[in-house]
Structure 1
Amino acid sequence: MRATQNDELLFQLPMLALRGLVLFPDMMLHFDVGRKKSIEALNAAMADEQKIFLVSQQDIRVDDPSENQLYKVGVVAKIRQILRMPNDNVRVLVEGLFRARWDRVVRDRPFFLADVEELPDRRAQDEVYASALIAEVQDAFDVYANLTNKLPPDVIMNVIAAQDPGYTADFIASNIMLRLEDKQSILEERHPFKRLEKLIVLLRRENEVLGVERQIHEKVHEQIDKNQREYYLREQLRAISSELSEGENPQEEAEQYKEKIKALHLNDEVADKLLKEADRLYKMPFGSHEATVVRTYLDTCLELPWNKATKENFDLDAARKVLDRDHYGLEKVKERILELLAVRKLTQGVGGQILCLVGPPGVGKTSIARSIAKATGRKYARVSLGGVRDESDIRGHRKTYIGAMPGRIIDAVRQAGSSNAMILLDEVDKLGSDYRGDPTSALLEVLDGEQNYAFRDHYIEVPFDLSNVLFLTTANDAQAIPAPLYDRMEVIPLGSYTHEEKFAIAKKYLIPKQLKKHGLNSRLCRMQDAAIHLMIDGYTREAGVRTLERTIASICRKCAKRIASGEVKSVSVTKAAAAELLGPQKFKTEDVRHKDEVGVVNGLAWTSVGGETMPVEVAVLDGSGRLELTGSLGDVMKESARAAVSYIRAHWSELQVDHEFYKNKDIHIHVPEGAIPKDGPSAGITIATALVSALTDTPVKGDLAMTGEITLRGRVLPIGGLKEKTMAAFTHGMKTVIIPAENEPDLEEVSEQVKSAIRFIPAETLDTVLKNALISRPAIHPTKSKPADGPATAEVIPDLPHSRAGLVTERGM
């Protein structure tokens, strides 16, 4: 202990953090020390004057607390005894000397060394009030001692004989069960009277709680006696029923279960577990609740397809015919399924595969699962994971709980009735998590081919082999799937349908399906091709065909009404008739954004339902150089706008822009549909082109769209989601699309119809973008900052929908 220069009451002492304990002055305390920092503090104290400052930590769960996680007030103690224990632990006996408060931690390694200031008790001169307080606290303590029956007699005698207010409060607080915060509150109170007042309140609260606990204990004891009496009565009733040969015989039922278990020829671990449960049932009285639990458990286990499997179809030609008959397009999915069949045909030993179909709603992810099951000859079961938040939904509940049941995976296998079924895990990206557990983590074992051969459900409690199950998962957004789960699946992206694909799907699948559903046929209701094209272009704008199917169903309902009422005998739906039945068109073929305008550029965005065009508008106003961004833009798009402004300021001469525009002009950048959040790293060249157009009063081609990000030097960086974005450009009638030069290889995935209708211009720098986007403007001179040829820098973050990087938004540029 060392006093500082200006204060005799300030010491430097080793400081030790107590976990869940509070020491009071003049009290002895035993505790074990295992943390390395605490042992170092004890060694330092023993090397000096055997004095140490003990302070409680605020959160007992923290293993290595910082100074901010320690209470300020503690007790300076004298180390009386140290015993070395096994496992490098130390048992310490200390005696509290006086209250103290640490002002500053001098260092925290290898132990806490702190400046400590003594906190003496304040004087209490009113002896009458002191006597009254002591008497009151003694009465409350007497009630507490009677309720607990756990206090040693010497503690009770010391409280009865106590006369000093401060010591009485400290002694009682150190010997009763109080929360850590309550004990710390008493320790921090320096005035003896206030300390006793706090203790009286705490004792009365504890007495009320203990009183209620005693009442509950007495009720439980009475209930146990009642249950024992009922048990004896039931035993007598069972004996009487057995003598009269009435009711079922549990022994015979248990023997029947044993015969069923042996007939399944299970492995030793499973058979032993089920036979053990049957033996328990044999010894239970008839009608008991526990017997019902055991029966339900055995019935569930026996219903599982332990050794049942369907014969798998390895005929590739037949499988191809089934897939082509049920679904139009989806070539990548079909090829992957045929590859799987081919490998299994050659090896006969490959375990279950996990495929994940990722794409916007309505493109056929869920419906193709039945076709795959049919093509492969497997049984089919579907598990909907949307909104699942409880881990027990995947792994099941313990069978001892009321209402326990197996998890959805085991239940799906039971429904399928085959150990090599095809199970569809629908909407895997919409799993949630809360205090009941994380179902995503529970799926890791299910979807891991290296360990799902011994999957343990909490309900059945024995391993079940899932390695032969073909798992197929679906998701709208791959970014919403956690990385560990994503890593266990083979992702197959599904893009948007083109107009021709939608037309073929409607004519071949949707119209026959809806006609049959509404009691019609091709003779009663015939839809002409022009009407189908009108429905696709004028009433739907989506990545899939769900809205198109609803539109067809609407026409079928109206036709069915006319036929059923006797108004007509048959209906031929022409283009004009379709327009009359459906009302005004929701979408126009000719878009006003095709006009050549100043400060308006068509951008391309990726959304969860496919691609979309997104115009960027810029207005230049007289002002003081303020930049305003509207349209619910995210941080990435805001940064792109600022980067575009900086690029123009740096190249004002080549772009022939007013050198002082950032001082005397206000720039307003707006992206329409402000209620929809927008973000993503692919709007840089769109914003920059709109800015240059507005600042130079040069129109931009209305039938041109673009996507790409820029750097401050004018490089055009690659983007993701090119297939969906180009589909959006095609749908909206764009003739030209500017893309980053590094995205040229991605054009192989773009539909041939889109490539034949759109001219793609690869751009390495913003100069190329401006030359092709602006209609009539001065020539763009090469800039000094044009980047040298070389690979893309590490700052590129593609926003491909199935990329693990990027932002999750409702609409991403």
Structure 2
Amino acid sequence: MSNFGNQLYQSLMMGDYSGEGDLIHLITDEEDESATKEEFFSDEIPILSVRNTVLFPGVVIPITVGRQRSIRLVKKAQKGDKLIGVCAQRNPNMEDPSWPDIYSVGTLAKIIKMIVLPDGNTTIIIQGKKRFKIREEISDDPYFLAKVDYLDESFPADNKEIEALEQSLKEAAFKILQLNPEIPREAQVALDNIDSTSFLTHFLSSNINAPVESKQRLLEINEGIERATLLLEFMMKDIQMLELKSEIQKKVHTDIDQQQRDYFLRQQMKVLQTELGEEGSEKEIDDLLAKGKKKKWPVEVAKHFQKEVHKILRMNPSAAEYPIALNYAEVMVELPWNEYTNDNFDLHRAKRILDKDHFGLDKVKERIIEYMAVLKLKNDIKGPILCLYGPPGVGKTSLGKSIARALGRKYIRMSLGGLHDEAEIRGHRKTYVGAMPGKIIQNMKKAKSSNPVFVLDEIDKISSDFRGDPSSAFLEVLDPEQNYAFTDNFLEVEYDLSKVLFVATANSLDTIQPALRDRMEIIEVTGYTLEEKVEIAIRHLIPKQRADHGLKAKDIQFSREAIVKVIDDYTRESGVRSLERLLGKVIRNIAKSIAMEEPYKKKVTPQMVRKILGGEVFDKELYQDNSLAGVVTGLAWTSVGGEILFIEASLSKGKGKLTLSGQLGDVMKESAMTAISYLKSKSEKIGLDHRVFDQYDLHIHVPAGAVPKDGPSAGITMLTAIASVYTQRKVKSKLAMTGEITLRGKVMPVGGIKEKILAARRAGIKDIILCKKNQKDIDEIEDIYLKGVTFHFVEHVQEVLDIALLDELVDESVQFTFESSYQKSIES
């Protein structure tokens, strides 16, 4: 039974409750109108707000009253004239409405009976008497009290239009009752006995299946013909919906299993969509075909698409394969087939963008400009596979975004950290449940372009398990000779990736599969120097943090010395992430002072930095004097930049035992062994008595023993330290060196030259010894970083000793004494 049918039947059966007895009967309109004319209604009445209900004159309804304000009102009215005004709430969910939350037009009602329920709520049966409009709001405590103006209705007498409307309303009501066979026949008879058009419109308005807003709209209309016309419109919509439901129900069998039930619901939805003008499954397929005609795909792909769409047309929409096939066709039509964005070949603009976004990184910028230059001249180049390799925080990922902006291409970033399923790259086969294309194809669909800049972030952190090896799946993606025909398991047709500019990022090359590494052009992004970090802080980090914390340029300024202090004493990194965090901490301290209106210094000094950030976290090594033999300054490269280190050697009476300390790695231990072997073989040439190696123990130590040290950079440093302690000759003042040695005494080149030189300058070093083959690295460093340093390029260990060791002895009183069986026999 529909909502309308239930309400109509109950209302017709209830009628009007009169007297104190138990008899319920329907009041005729003549009785109601005469009663209304005879009674006098006060213009000051209490107002009861009700939810989800609109009361009409002549209609009897029960109302449950639960709010304290409403209970007080009902009890007061029950003791008096039993008249109350009933207004509907605008928002039924509001627990404590105020005057603006109720409609201003309501109905005067008389309380016929009041029943107090055991749960404390009160139910009243009321009958609507006359419509009113609130003229003045008198009070809202202890209940609503208002002055009202009563509204009269205008129904022309003996009007044929009124008669026609009345007959139409009754026919519509009968039609609704016929569509609900559960309603008894007596309801139709009772409805037929209503003669007054006014009461008929009120009664049907109260019982139609419509929202409160629509019923309130009917209540507020004074013109009888206008109200009856709108009411008839609402009832006709209800009839159409009931007829449609009845028509759908006839199409399906009454005794249905689960599958038939699903089909029935789909049929209902289909009919409703057709009636509402919405798109169905056929419309979706038509749209796919229309989009397919506009695509610029190859002939083979177009044929494959047509075949798949026609396969969908032959499928039952309720089949399990239908959504997979439809999704497959949608993926094909949404992919950018031969759709490219136009590259911007303004190389000067591209250089300005790269320089603005990133300070330093000259090699990387130069490589990008070269790529754009070739693309401009040839207008077609297979996308290179660039791999930006370097420590965290140096701007590798953001550099990819700058490349995309410089070229005017779409930008895609795909994080590969922790990826361990090959299907994430190649996609799933359509036979699997929940099949979907791989992330390469998904991102290409998202980019809507066949030539984006595609950043493969953290390619060195790909893992593998029983689901496959994703790094092997990338072999096809990142091979310019193969990726023009990349095949995704879900897509099943070849897709051209050759125009994509792939940019991979990695923190380490050791974990990248050799075959995959061979397909990429490795571009090393080294850590920033102190000078570069200062410029980055001034140009990028400080303005960004200042804006993030709501400050303006006039509110805070950093001195260059303060920035250097933050970098030197509080960070130990290659990039600038920690630097940015610490600068943000300083700026937050200033922001707090501004917000609390406390006095503060606008210029940040090193003293302020120490006060805000606390004591220094890191200590940098400074050059120590050469008053002791066997102490030599070396240069080392770390992941956070260059550093100087001291290698110390000492001798003690013994049997030629060698001790190494300082948590040295295998490479440094080998360098020490090589240095000792060389000195033993060349002892006479250097001026050493060979017996010193057998009768004195040698201890080599590298301070800061808790820090692991390894790398092929300390060979000549260790050799110089050992030679100094054995000969007791002083080492040249303010000298540092780096390089590896062989047993033949050749000096080998090493890496990290730029970082090492900057570390030497910060420590006050004036002379640096390097391998001659490292001279090319010096040529690539800006002159400003080389000022005040003298370089000595050597090829042989003897050159190192000639430069490093002075003729002056540390202590001329030190003499080595030797004991040998030969000497003892001579003395005896």
Change (3 A) 1:338 1:419: same
CA distance in 2, matches of 1:270, 1:278: 12
Q: Alpha-carbon deviation of 1:303?
A: 2.7
Counterpart selection for 1:517 from 548, 553, 559:
548
Looking at structure 1, the residues matched to 416 and 257 of structure 2 have their Cα atoms a distance apart, in angstroms, of 47
Q: Which residue of 2 aligns with 1:291?
A: 322
CA contact (8 A) 1:496 1:727 kept: no
CA RMSD, 1 decimal: 2.9
In the alignment, is residue 342 of structure 1 matched against residue 367 of structure 2?
A: no
| Unmatched tracts of structure 2, length 5 or more | 1-254, 274-279, 811-828
Aligned to 2:716: 685
Q: CA deviation at 1:314?
A: 1.0
Determine helix, strand or coil for the equivalent of 2:463: coil
Q: Is the CA contact 1:640–1:687 (under 8 Å) kept in the aligned structure 2?
A: yes
The change in CA–CA distance for 1:371 and 1:244 in structure 2 (over 3 A counts) is: closer
Q: 1:497 corresponds to which residue?
A: 528
Give the secondary-structure state (helix, strand or coil) at the position aligned to 1:659.
coil
CA distance in 2, matches of 1:500, 1:618: 34
Q: What is the match of residue 76 of structure 2?
A: none
Aligned to 2:802: 771
Displacement of 1:596 after TM fit? 4.7
Q: Deviations over 1:73-103 (max 9, x none)?
A: xxxxxxxxxxxxxxxxxxxxxxxxxxxxxxx
**Aligned partner of 2:700: which letter?**
I
Task: Indicate conservation of the 8 Å contact 1:603/1:686, yes or no.
Answer: yes
Q: Report Cα offsets for 1:106-154 as digits up to 9, x if no partner.
A: xxxxxxxxxxxxxxxxxxxxxxxxxxxxxxxxxxxxxxxxxxxxxxxxx
Contact 1:235 1:285 in 2 (8 A): no
Pairwise CA distance, 1:252: 4.7
Q: CA deviation at 1:397?
A: 2.5
Q: Given the alignment, which residue of 775, 781, 796 partners 1:744?
A: 775
Q: CA deviation at 1:421?
A: 0.8
1:613 aligns to what?
Answer: 644
Contact 2:739–2:770, Cα closer than 8 Å, also in 1 = yes
Deviation of the 1:251 alpha carbon: 4.7
Distance (whole Å) between structure 1 residues aligned to residue 305 and residue 375 of structure 2: 33
Residue 117 of structure 2 corresponds to: none
Tell whether the 8 Å contact from 2:527 to 2:639 is kept in structure 1 after alignment: no
- Deviation of 1:651 after TM superposition, in Å, equals 2.3
Question: How big is each residue's C-alpha offset from its partner over 1:431-467, in whole Å with a ceiling of 9 and x where there is no partner?
Answer: 3333333222222222222221111122222211111
Cα distance in structure 2, aligned partners of 1:610 and 1:464:
43
Provide the rounded CA distance (Å) in 2 between the counterparts of 1:753 and 1:456: 52
Give the corresponding residue for 2:21: none
Residue 373 (1) aligns with residue 398 (2): no
Q: CA deviation at 1:469?
A: 1.1
Match of 1:320 in 2: 351
Question: Structure 1 CA distance, aligned partners of 2:754 and 2:735?
Answer: 17
Task: Give the structure 1 partner of residue 513 of structure 2.
Answer: 482
**Amino acid of the structure 2 residue aligned with 1:756:** K
Matches within 5 A, 1:51-66: none
Residues matched between the structures, number: 550
Cα deviation 1:420-439 (Å, max 9, x = unaligned): 11111222233333333322
Distance 1:575 1:635 in 2: 41
Counterpart Cα distance in 1 of 2:499 and 2:798: 56
Match of residue 151 from structure 1:
none
Deviation at 1:547, TM superposition (A): 2.4
More displaced 10-residue stretch of structure 1: 276-285 or 553-562: 276-285
Tell me how far 1:707 sits from its aligned partner: 1.4
Matches within 5 A, 1:353-432: 353-432=384-463
Kept in 2, the 8 Å contact 1:238–1:286? The answer is: no
Counterpart residue number, 1:554: 585
Per-residue deviation at 1:674?
Answer: 4.2
Establish whether residue 262 from structure 1 lines up as the match of residue 306 from structure 2: no
Superposition deviation, residue 604 in structure 1: 2.4
Q: What amino acid sits opposite 1:709 in the alignment?
A: E
Give the alignment partner of residue 742 of structure 2, picking from 701, 711, 732: 711
Alignment partner for residue 755 of structure 1, among 761, 771, 786? 786
Residue identity matched to 2:470 = P
Is 1:538 paired with 2:576? Answer: no
- Matched residue, 2:189: none
5+ long unaligned stretches in structure 1: 1-229, 780-813
Q: 1:447 aligns with which of 478, 482, 488?
A: 478
- Work out whether residues 734 and 766 of structure 2, in 8 Å CA contact, stay in contact via their aligned partners in 1: yes
Give SS of 1:678's match: coil
Residues 710 and 390 (structure 1 numbering): CA distance in 2 closer, same or farther, change over 3 Å? same
Measured in 2, the distance between the counterparts of 1:675 and 1:658 equals: 35
Deviation of 1:374 after TM superposition, in Å, equals: 0.9
Give the stretch that moved more between structures: 241-250 or 547-556: 241-250
Structure 2 distance, partners of 1:244, 1:765, is 88
Contact 1:710 1:716 in 2 (8 A): yes
Contact 2:415 2:456 in 1 (8 A): yes
CA distance, structure 1, for counterparts of residue 518 and residue 702 of structure 2: 36
* Aligned 8 A contact 2:437 2:489 in 1: yes
Q: Does 1:624 align with 2:649?
A: no
Q: Match for 2:263: what amino acid?
A: R
Contact 1:594–1:701 at 8 Å: present in 2 too? no
Q: Is the 8 A contact 1:524 1:569 kept in 2?
A: no
Task: Give the direction of change, closer, same or farther, for the CA distance of 1:341–1:742 in structure 2 (3 Å limit).
Answer: closer
Q: Secondary structure at the match of 1:598?
A: coil
Cα distance in 1 between the residues matched to 2:617 and 2:623:
15
Whichever residue aligns with residue 527 of structure 2, its letter is S
The alpha carbon displacement at 1:644 in A equals 1.2
Question: Aligned equivalents of 1:584 and 1:501: distance in 2?
Answer: 24
Which amino acid counterpart does residue 513 of structure 2 have in structure 1?
Answer: P
Separation of aligned partners in 1, 2:793 and 2:597: 60
Q: Which amino acid aligns with 1:604?
A: L
> CA–CA distance in 1 between the matches of 2:269 and 2:770?
89
Residue 556 of structure 1 deviates from its aligned partner by 1.1
The residue number in structure 1 matching 2:263 is 238
Report if the CA contact (8 A) 1:250-1:284 is conserved: no
Cα separation, 1, equivalents of 2:262 and 2:462: 51
Contact 2:556-2:602 within 8 A present in 1 as well: yes
Which digits, 9 at most, give the CA deviation of each residue in 1:342-400, with x for residues without a partner? 22222212232222222333332222222111111001111222333332232223233
Q: Secondary structure of the residue that 1:757 maps to in structure 2?
A: coil
* 2:743 counterpart letter in structure 1: L
Q: CA deviation at 1:677?
A: 4.2
* 1:670 corresponds to: 701
Whether the aligned pair in 2 keeps the contact of 1:309 and 1:418 (CA below 8 Å) is yes
Amino acid at match of 1:599: G
Contact 2:623/2:734 (CA < 8 Å) preserved in 1? no
1:362 counterpart SS class: coil
Q: Is the 8 A contact 1:361 1:543 kept in 2?
A: yes
SS in 2 for 1:767: helix
Counterpart-to-counterpart distance in 2, 1:402 and 1:747: 60
Out of 719, 723, 727, the residue aligned to residue 754 of structure 2 is 723
Alpha-carbon distance in 1 for matches of 2:486, 2:429: 15
One-letter code aligned to 2:655: S
**Distance in 2 separating the partners of 1:231 and 1:289:** 20
Find the partner of 2:622 among 581, 584, 591: 591
**Partner SS, residue 743 of structure 1:** helix
Aligned pairs for 1:143-154 (under 5 A) are: none
Whether the 8 Å contact between 2:529 and 2:755 is mirrored in structure 1 is: no
**Larger Cα Rg: Structure 1 or Structure 2?**
2
> Cα gap change, 1:732/1:539 in structure 2, threshold over 3 Å: closer, same or farther?
farther
Cα separation, 1, equivalents of 2:635 and 2:780: 17
> Structure 1 residues 590 and 397 mapped into 2: Cα distance closer, same or farther (>3 Å)?
same
Report the Cα distance in structure 2 between the residues aligned to 1:240 and 1:384, rounded to whole angstroms: 42
Conserved? CA contact 1:429–1:475, under 8 Å: yes
1:587 Cα deviation (Å)? 4.0
Query: Offset at 1:501?
Result: 2.2
- With over 3 angstroms needed to count, the CA separation of the structure-2 counterparts of 1:404 and 1:777, relative to structure 1, is farther
Partner SS state of residue 366, structure 1: helix
- Counterparts in 2 of 1:512 and 1:245: CA distance versus 1, 3 Å: closer
How has the CA–CA distance of structure 1 residues 673 and 538 changed in structure 2, closer, same or farther, with 3 Å as cutoff? closer
TM-score of the superposed pair, with normalisation by structure 2: 0.62
